[in-house]
Amino acid sequence: MKTKKVLILTLALTMVTGLLSTTWAAETDKHDTESLAKASQNPVASLISVPFENNTTFNNGTEDSVVDILNIKPVIPMSFGENWNLINRTIVPVIYQEERFPDEGNRFGLGDITYQGFFSPKKPGKIIWGMGPQLGLPTGMDRLTSNQWTLGPTAVVLMMPGHWVTGVLVSNVWDFGGGYKPSEDVNFFSFQYFINYNMKGGWYLTTAPTITANWEADDSGDKWTVPFGGGVGRVFKIGKQPLNLKVSGYYNVEKPDYASDWNLQTQLTFMFPK
């Protein structure tokens, strides 16, 4: 029953927002829309944005439960001297987790917050890049946290030829201090490749799976999570407010035991161009 409610809510929000985008899309300037679409797909663009990314995963644990994670990811670029920008991104997860294993119970609350800072040239060439630190804070509640402070490097490289925006975003973090109780060590790798093809009217096709590796996993079969899939998105305006709506689906071709098979991802981004 809970799974059906999550699915119905997610699909309803997607359909309503999609109808709104169709209704108000005619007000959007074509060139402005296409430029915003490419900027929204560039992780180090000089663009203030607030994405709300909802990930609904299925078949978690022995109870085949649903886990829903809403990532609120504000991005604030800052000028850093004459030649550099500092792109500040914070990821704040809000998690609803059904009982995955017997007697575990349901969980709802805040997860661990992540900060990423990318130093990027103000005038890049054909190859756009940025790099900097990634910091994890053990802000999660109860079983929704690693209970570790983490730190490591993160970097992004991309190109934007014609209608395409393609690139990779990579990071690796290690723990450097525990929280309020003893916890497992953290050595976590993340690799996201993204391929976007932009079309008329602000529409685009996208694939942006995040491949991860938990180097601390005891069993080699539990180290990797490798999703495959894609989706469709559209940039539009409601009044003067630019928005970006994206819906994607991913299947994990490799995953740890008891991890989810499927991820339904819906993202709505509020953009604030200069």
CATH at 189: 2.40.160.40
Residue 8: pLDDT above 90? no
Percent of the chain scoring above 90 in pLDDT: 80
- Supply the range of the domain harboring residue 237: 2-272
| Position 247 pLDDT exceeds 70 | yes
Per-residue confidence (pLDDT) for residue 19, from 0 to 100: 41
pLDDT digits (tens, 9 = 90+) for 25-40: 444 455 578 889 999 9
Mean predicted confidence (pLDDT) in 116-133: 97
Residue 9: is its pLDDT beyond 70?
Answer: no
Q: Could you give the 3-state DSSP secondary structure of residue 212?
A: strand
154: amino acid identity, one letter: T
Structural domains in the chain (count): 1
pLDDT score, position 2: 53
Lowest-confidence segment of 12-21, 134-143, 161-170 by average pLDDT = 12-21
Widest distance between CA atoms in the chain: 57
Q: What percent of the chain has pLDDT over 70?
A: 88
152-177 b/e (C-beta count within 10 Å ≥ 16 → b) = bebebbbebeeebbbbebbbbbbbee
pLDDT confidence band for 24 (50 / 70 / 90): very low
CA dihedral 86, 91, 92, 96 (to 10 degrees): 170
Which of 58-62, 72-76, 93-97, 178-182 is predicted least confidently? 178-182
Helix (H) or strand (E) holding 15: helix 2-24
pTM: 0.87
Token couple for 91: 């990821």
Cβ–Cβ under 8 Å, residues 158 and 128: yes
Mean pLDDT of the chain: 89
